[in-house]
Amino acid sequence: MEVMEIRFQKAGQSHWAVNQLQVQAGSQIVVKFNHCQDLAQVVRAQDLTPKEVALDEIVVERTAVATDLTHAASNQVDAQAALHQARQMVRQHHLLMKLTIARYTLDRHKLIFYFTADGRVDFRELVRDLASVFKTRIELRQIGVRDEAKLLGGIGPCGRQLCCSTFLGEFVPVSIKMAKNQNLSLNPTKISGLCGRLMCCLQFEDDMYEEAKAALPDYGERVQTVDGPGKIVGMNLLSHVLRVRLDGHEVPVDYDLEEIKQH
């Protein structure tokens, strides 16, 4: 059975549905999801069994046409205006929350606001007021700082657009161990993204660094070089160059892995 991975927002959460229309990756489709009609983009389509993916209760209605895209663009303009008004209402209710973005479903049966907050927020009165103003169903979704960066986008320390807002569908676990494997400075300002958390890209090459590290002697290990015995005090994992402090010498010397024998 051919299924497809779809997203309602660029680099947003992925959902799986049966590819009834036999559409290709990149196609825009109109679907029925959570009792609302919405516009989605196909990320990929492939043959998989239901056991391999968790299919969501999504009804694929048709391929999107020009009027659907125009309607979605108009909805986005209105959602931006609604966001500005909703932020004023949050201040009036004295709620400790920050609204990030807003979006309408394609049929405008639901207006969704995404927000960040340090803890739980009682926004029941706010929802009632929002519903009375915008005359539609209101949904508030609390997100974390990584999700906020994904939704807002931006330029990372590398000078490129954020990975999370361009192609990452789901966040992957990132640990400080990955930074250590790559011999990076553990200064938080050097290894953190715009969200303030460890950069997602630390995970991309971690497997390669792990393999390279396993093939090399460890720090402090005694080795035999062409110039005599010494101790490893540094290394370049990817180029397989080891820095050795020879016995009786203060200045370390770089050697290729082939020039070294382990004790």
Which DSSP string corresponds to 32-90? EETTEEEEEEEEEEEE--TTTS-B-SEEEEEE--HHHHHHHHHHHHHHHHHHHHHHHHH
- What does the pLDDT read at residue 49? 63
- What does the pLDDT read at residue 219? 84
Residue 11's pLDDT band, with cuts at 50, 70 and 90, is low
Q: Mean pLDDT across the chain, nearest whole number?
A: 89
Q: Domains of the chain: which residue ranges?
A: 2-64, 69-143, 148-207, 222-262
Q: What would the pLDDT profile of 144-187 be if each residue is shown by its tens digit?
A: 888 888 888 889 888 889 988 888 777 888 999 999 888 888 89
- Please determine, for residue 1, whether its predicted confidence score (pLDDT) is greater than 80: no
Starting at the edge strand found earlier in the chain, the sheet holding 98-104 runs 98-104, 110-116, 137-142
Residue 262's pLDDT band, with cuts at 50, 70 and 90, is low
CATH of 69-143, one of 3.40.50.300, 3.90.870.10, 3.40.640.10, 3.30.300.20: 3.30.300.20
Q: Which amino acid is at 196?
A: G
- Please determine, for residue 50, whether its predicted confidence score (pLDDT) is greater than 70: no
Cβ contact 186:211 at 8 Å: no
DSSP 262: E
Q: What percent of the chain has pLDDT over 70?
A: 97
pTM: 0.76
Q: Average pLDDT for residues 125-131, to the nearest whole number?
A: 96
- What does the pLDDT read at residue 210? 86
